[in-house]
Amino acid sequence: MAFLELQGVEKYFGAVHTIRGIDLAIQKGEFVVFVGPSGCGKSTLLRLIAGLEAIDIGRLVLDGDDITQRPSSKRDLAMVFQSYALYPHMTVAENMSFALRLAKVEPSEIAKKVEHAAKILNLTPYLHRTPKELSGGQRQRVAIGRAIVRNPKVFLFDEPLSNLDAALRGQTRVEIARLHRDLGATTIYVTHDQVEAMTLADRVVVLRDGRIEQVGTPLELYDRPANQFVAQFIGTPQMNVVAAAAQPQLRSALPSGVPEGGFIGLRPEYLAVVPTGQGALQARVELVEALGSETLIHVVTEQGVTLVAKQNQRPQCHAGDAVGVGVDLLQAHVFDAQGRVVHAG
């Protein structure tokens, strides 16, 4: 039996049908990440789980108990928001212990829990500081610590790293992964960041227009996407998707064939920029993005199709150069005219 179950969950805001029949089972100790484009309903779904919005249709079951109508304060969940939401006049220790003090927990027990959380998050030296004396990453750790001291059944994270710069995002992401491993806590995490989803999740839930498109491990979604939307959403840079009619030489070379009106999907790492006259396609370089450890080369084929190739070598070409493009067709994905998978590479 699943630890947390969403059964046919739906949500309306007036006439707008925001969440459309979500069925999802989350196991105890699992780290599940919700991803999807802006407006897909991922944060709304998290708020429905937290009890910050009412579920219009369906049930929410936690550890065998139906908590659909239970107020947020009684759900035994803890939420970490995008904004730190710390009380500026309170110290770190006071911010972390605020919910426990409201619940009239014994002071000795509060001190023990705050000390434990601070140790886990490397906040012990900062317990007597106020939020204005902390960096952004430290403030976010205080917000996480405030959730830890409550010892909830489920942790809910709503884009907690969005307000941090790139270096702090990477550092805090590692800390969240370590925290999950150490606590073994059930965690639901909302993000729009591909790297966060791929590196943190046991399973990823891809949402679009209030529906689940696919659920799976990060590599399952990357290697075996259910449809064209998931294929292009998971992975950075995104999969190249080409109308088969626009590149007939690729269509004829594919042993699996392509249905009428279908598309061919090629991950950038399975394209290779080679000297002109070689490769399956001929093209011209439009842009070279030299990123150090890898290079992204944007090309336009003779048929006017834009492709992105990713290579680990330093670039030997420049914008305007004529080049060939090698294609590993064994790794190609094939989609029908409706974007459904016909063949996965």
Structural domains in the chain, CATH included, are 4-224 (3.40.50.300), 237-343 (2.40.50.140)
Helical residues (DSSP H) of 34-165, grouped into ranges: 42-50, 92-102, 107-120, 136-148
Averaged pLDDT for residues 97-109: 92
Instruction: Specify the DSSP element, H or E, that contains 7.
Output: strand 4-13
Instruction: Specify the DSSP element, H or E, that contains 233.
Output: helix 228-233
**pLDDT score of 254:** 86
**pLDDT digit string, tens, across residues 268-304:** 999 999 999 999 999 999 999 999 999 999 999 999 9
**pLDDT score of 1:** 63
Averaged pLDDT for residues 212-241: 95
- Count CB atoms within 10 A of the CB of residue 291: 8
**pLDDT digit string, tens, across residues 237-261:** 999 999 999 999 888 888 778 999 9
Q: How far is CA 38 from CA 43, 145, 251, 304, in A?
A: 10, 28, 34, 30
**Residue 111: CA count within 13 A, CB half-sphere:** 3
Report the range of poorest mean pLDDT among 144-148, 227-231, 284-288.
144-148
Taking alpha carbons only, the member of 230, 234, 227, 229 closest to residue 198 is: 234
Residue 332 contacts residue 281 (beta carbons within 8 Å): no
Averaged pLDDT for residues 87-115: 94
